[in-house]
Amino acid sequence: MDTQNQCDIIPMPRIGDKAPEFKASTTQGEIIFPGQFSGSWVILFSHPADFTPVCTSEFITFASLQDQFAKANCKLVGLSVDGLYSHIAWLRTIQEKIEYRGMKNVEVKFPLIDDVTMEVAKKYGMIQPGESSTKAVRAVFFIDPKGIIRAIIYYPLSLGRNFDELYRVVIALQTADAFSCATPADWRPGDDVIVPAPGTCDAAKERMQGKPDMTCYDWFFSTRKIDKEKVLDAILKK
Ligand code: BEZ
C-alpha cells in the first residue's frame, strides 16, 4: 500500500477526540501516551527532521520556554520520524554548539519520540503527503488533563511556529475551563472574556446596569473583565 493510501485509511484525530494511545521510545525513555500524562496539559508536536535549520530554531526556542510551560501545568512531547540516535546527536549539537538569538547551552529536557516507523505520526495525521510523504508536518496537539484533544494547529515544513501563540493557546484554554467563558480575538490575560450572550438588546441593557465589569456590544456579544492576576492565580503553579 502506498503512503497516500495508508494515510487515507487512518482517520485524523479531531478536536474533542480522545488523544490516540501509543507507547514509544523517546530521548527520556519509554512513554505511554496519553495515560502517563494524565492530570497535566500536554503539547504533542511534530517536526519534519533533525539537523534542519527551521526545526533547530524551533527546538531552541521551545526548550528555553519549557519551565514557563511547566508552570502552566503543560508538558511538552516532540516527535519526528527520525531514530533515537539521530535525536540524541541533534539535541547534543543544539546544547553544545548552537547559539541562536541569545539562547545558548539549551538542554531539551522534554521527550522526543523516535518514530522511524511513522506509526505515531500516521495515527495523529502528521504525515500529509501533499506536503511530504516522508516527513511529518509541524503539527501541534493541545491535550487536556483528561486526555482530550482541545486544539490542533498545523504548519507546513517551511514555516517555524510562534511559541508565544502556543503558550497563549494553553492559557486561553485553561481560562475558558476555569471561568466558563470564551476568549476573543488576540486575547491575553487581563483582557475581557466573552460570556453567554444576553439574547436581546433589552436584556443586554439590563445586564449592564450596576455591573461596570461588563460590556454588552449587542444581544449576541457580551464580555466581562477578569483581572490578569485572577487568571494567572487560577492557572499558574506557584
Ligand atoms: C527545516 O527545519 O529547516 C526544514 C525541514 C524540512 C524541510 C524543510 C525545512
pLDDT in tens, the chain (238 residues): 444 555 556 789 999 999 999 999 999 999 999 999 999 999 999 999 999 999 999 999 999 999 999 999 999 999 999 999 999 999 999 999 999 999 999 999 999 999 999 999 999 999 999 999 999 999 999 999 999 999 999 999 999 999 999 999 999 999 999 999 999 999 999 999 999 888 887 887 787 888 889 999 999 999 999 999 999 999 987 5
Task: Point out the residues that are catalytic.
Answer: 55
| DSSP characters over 167-183 | HHHHHHHHHHHHHT-B-
Dmax over Cα atoms in the chain, in whole Å?
Answer: 66
What is residue 92's predicted lDDT score, i.e. its pLDDT? Answer: 98
Indicate whether residue 53 lines ligand 1 (CB < 6 A). Answer: yes
Confidence (pLDDT) at 196: 87
Q: Say if strands 138-143 and 41-46 run parallel, antiparallel, or are unpaired.
A: antiparallel
- Whether 169 lines ligand 1, by a CB cut-off of 6 Å, is no
Instruction: Calculate ∠ Cα 186-210-224, nearest 5°.
Output: 15
Q: Which three cell numbers stand for residue 121?
A: 505520526
Sign of CA dihedral 108, 113, 116, 121: negative
Q: How large is the C-alpha radius of gyration of the chain?
A: 20
Q: Please give the model's pTM, rounded to 2 decimal places.
A: 0.94
Q: Is the CB of 160 under 6 A from ligand 1?
A: no
